[in-house]
Amino acid sequence: MKTLSVFLAAVLLSGVVHAQDLKDWQHAKTQSLSSLKAPVRIVNLWATWCKPCRKEMPEMSAWYKKQKKGSVDMVGIALDNPENIGAFLKQTPVSYPIWRYDGKDSRGFMKSLGNTVGGLPFTTVEAVKCGHKETVFGEIDGKKLDAAVKKVTAACKK
């Protein structure tokens, strides 16, 4: 049964997100979520055409700057093209890395992260050690980030 579960998981995720589908938005250098080594990993999916995405980013950036170095890794993954991303970030710089999804199935990619709705913005907060994950649909702020971080880290202590 375990082998069947592993096989089905592999089939469901195949073609959804390949290692080369996540890129640094500026240099198209391949990126990987596994490269994020802090105890808590925050992934925010966004796009330049998404008003709530644009609105939440300055607050997320300020929140991230206040975190103890090495305690949280945060990355914004844009579902957009490099030109739009660059123009937006000139007006609204952020303190965390920005990548972009470069694959062909953004809906499948979002589903692989837990976004079954397919809407933006979408954020995951995960305690890497134990794999406990919280998802936030819609706009996020510092209070919601604090609550999600607290919840996932508490889950790892159980």
Question: What's residue 157's pLDDT?
Answer: 85
Please state, in angstroms and rounded to a whole number, the distance separating the CA atoms of residues 151 and 154. Answer: 5
Q: Residue 1: inside a domain, yes or no?
A: no
Sheet of strand 40-46: strand arrangement: 22-24, 98-101, 72-78, 40-46, 122-127, 132-137
**How many domains would you assign to the chain?**
1
Q: Residue 56: inside a domain, yes or no?
A: yes
Q: What is the pLDDT of residues 30-73, one digit of tens each?
A: 999 999 999 999 999 999 999 999 999 999 999 999 999 999 99
Residues of the domain holding 100? 22-156
Question: What's residue 5's pLDDT?
Answer: 37
Ramachandran area for residue 138 (φ above 0: left; ψ -120 to 50: alpha; else beta): left
Q: Residue 13: inside a domain, yes or no?
A: no
Question: What's residue 19's pLDDT?
Answer: 58
- The end-to-end CA distance of the chain, in Å, is 28
Q: Residue 15: inside a domain, yes or no?
A: no
Q: Residue 8: inside a domain, yes or no?
A: no
Q: What is the pLDDT of residues 121-136, one digit of tens each?
A: 999 999 999 999 999 9
* pTM for this entry: 0.86
pLDDT above 60 for 93: yes
All residues at 6 or more sequence positions from 1 whose CB lies less than 8 Å from its CB, including other chains: none
The values of phi and psi at residue 113, to 5°, are -95, 0
Q: Residue 88: inside a domain, yes or no?
A: yes
Q: What is the pLDDT of residues 105-122, one digit of tens each?
A: 999 999 999 999 999 999
**Alpha-carbon Rg for the chain in angstroms:** 16
Q: What is the CATH number of the domain that holds 140?
A: 3.40.30.10
